Chain A
Amino acid sequence: MSTRKLLAPQPNPETDAFWDGLGEGVLRIKTCESCGQPHYYPRHICPHCGSEKTRWLESAGCGEIYSLSVMRRGEGAPFAVAYVTLDEGPALMTNLVADDLDTLAIGQRVRLAPQASDADTVGDGPSLPFFTPSGD
């Protein structure tokens, strides 16, 4: 498990619902009612077609590793930076959690494993969308 400081995301009106959902263990991405395509990270206006008719879509929180790189130096190392391609389509940048980071591989199935960020002062900040191998 990483020991580095996990910077708390700054809330804003465009993405509050994302962080609220993650606090309940739910990964919300966005989809567009005009073009039908999902996107991540969430925006008010669809980056695929420019429509304002975007709405939140609950992801199953499952996907596979597109690529990863384990940071071996510096604060909190080692930790695994990765892109995970969600089953719903969009890829997201994340951290992977595993007992042995050397067992992680491209193509491996992973699932959402929310991790608390470090608040600016004391206690926990908003949960972050980390992933971990799902074994399927």
Chain B
Amino acid sequence: MSLRNAACIAGAFEHPTRLAPDMTTPQLHAECAAGALADAGLSLSDVDGYFCATDAPGFGPISMIDYLGLTVRHTDSTEMGGCTYIQHVAHAAQAIATGKCSVALITLAGRPRSEAVQRFRPGAPESAFEQWVGLTNHTSYGMCAGRHMHEFGTTSEQLAWIKVAASHHAQHNPHAMLPKVVTVEDVVNSPTIADPLHRLDCCVTTDGGGALVVVSPEIARTLNRPVISLLGAGEATKGPSGGLALDLTTSAAAQSGPRAFEEAGVTPADIKYASIYDSFTITVLLQLEDLGFCAKGEGGKFVADGNLISGSGKLPFNTDGGGLCNNHPMFRGGITKVIEAVRQLRGEAAPAVQVPNCDLAVATGIGGSLGARHGAATIILERQS
């Protein structure tokens, strides 16, 4: 069974907060759910499928379904780090295609700026061999960037262009955490956090969240919204695999991307807008190569000179400012990638960054730790005429 046109994204909502000291995490989930349902023109009573991941407090869907007041016949708490919510769209389409639900609600929320968040996962089989290493995301992704530079001659200035492009977009987003336009010099002169990554190579940390409503094509056609259809989806995981397969210059997106494009029946050259998970600048560069927007090793040249800036570059990306400048709620940028792709396909992005006649978009993400073990999820979305 193919997921091509099996389901549509009818509702998308990004919470405007970036700092929420006086709210609870469940409350944020609920506000995001209400926002996405209102956007779709649906209500809580229409929802018959619920999707969440480990950012949902308590007993996952059991706690949240009761808290939200839902009555559902399908739940899914698939967890793959920050890209989970891209994967949830595909899993919701699977559930809809097989008749398990017809209106699926996906929520993400968290308050990492306002409360301590437990990120270490005790008991993992690798824990005893890696916990003492002091691996953070900075050093994990730093090792990927360092190896890419070693193999392909990629430079810090080329990576910096990714942040520069995101900042050009963020200036038009009134909710962006970092709305100021920066230059390549600003990025490479910002303090080094973990070689070779500078502070401005890193995404923001924000409180907040988002939600999506995925519905059957039949329901989508009854709603007074543009029909945004799922054309294809792919997912994959990658790790050192016993230490013989270590390869820090290719991500699992090299598997999830081609799977999604094949199912969709389109190629990277057809894509009008790309939402690319941007926990760090290097995260974007690897995925661009792995999805086939350029050859392996050519990412540095591809992103340079503003090629990702909407209006002037060849591949407009993360026109909301992305995780690098706008929002990376709960350390997880997956749902905001889907939300901005939906805005672009509807023609509802900020006017200065709206891609003309944007009818085909990709949203892709990485979850976990790129330099250790990680997952990837990719979806291709199309606006139906």
Contacts and interface: CB of A to CB of B under 8 A. Distances in A.
Interface of A: 2, 4, 6-12, 15, 29, 37-41, 43, 46-48, 66-74, 76, 79, 81-83, 85-86, 89-95, 106-107, 117, 128
Given A48-B244, A72-B195, A93 B135 contact: yes
Scoring B191, B197, B242 by chain A CB atoms within 10 A of each residue's CB, the highest score goes to: B242
A93 to B, nearest CB: 5
A37 B241 CA distance: 12
Interface string B171-194: 000000000000000000001111
Contact of B244 (A6, A68, A90, A117): A90
- Looking at A46, A83, A85, which has the most chain B CB atoms within 10 Å of its CB? A83
Most buried by A among B143, B248, B371: B143
A9 B129 CA distance: 7
A70 B145 CA distance: 12
B134 A117 contact: no
A4 B134 contact: yes
Contacts of A82: 143
Nearest to B193: A73
Interface in B368-383: 371-372
A95 B134 contact: yes
Given A47-B241, A72-B192, A90-B242, A95 B133 contact: yes
Given A68-B146, A83-B143, A93 B138 contact: no
Given A69-B139, A73-B193, A79-B134, A9 B242 contact: no
Interface residues of B, number: 38
Nearest to B248: A67
Interface in B122-159: 125-136, 138-140, 142-147, 150
B194 A93 contact: no
Most buried by B among A10, A11, A43: A10
Given A9-B128, A67-B147, A70-B194, A39 B134 contact: no
Contact of B134 (A8, A71, A86): A71
A90 B243 contact: yes
B147 A6 contact: no
B244 A94 contact: no
Nearest to B131: A7
Contacts of B191: 72-73
A115 B292 CA distance: 43
Contacts of B150: 67, 106-107
A130 to B, nearest CB: 9
Contacts of B126: 41
Contact of B147 (A7, A39, A73, A106): A106
B134 A9 contact: no
Interface string B267-308: 000000000000000000000000000000000000000000
B217 to A, nearest CB: 42
Contact of A66 (B125, B134, B147, B244): B147
A70 B135 contact: no
B243 A92 contact: yes
Nearest to A40: B243
A7 to B, nearest CB: 5
A10 B128 CA distance: 6
Interface string B193-216: 111110000000000000000000
A91 B145 CA distance: 18
10 contacts: A6-B132, A7-B131, A37-B244, A38-B243, A41-B130, A47-B242, A66-B246, A69-B145, A73-B193, A93-B135
Contacts of A67: 143-144, 146-147, 150, 248, 371
B41 interface: no
A2 B133 CA distance: 11
A58 B246 CA distance: 21
A97 B132 CA distance: 14
A32 B201 CA distance: 41
B133 A93 contact: yes
B5 to A, nearest CB: 38
A66 B146 CA distance: 10
A29 B243 CA distance: 10
Given A10-B128, A91-B243, A93-B130, 13 more contacts: A15-B129, A39-B244, A66-B147, A66-B246, A66-B248, A68-B195, A69-B146, A69-B196, A72-B194, A73-B138, A94-B133, A95-B132, A117-B132
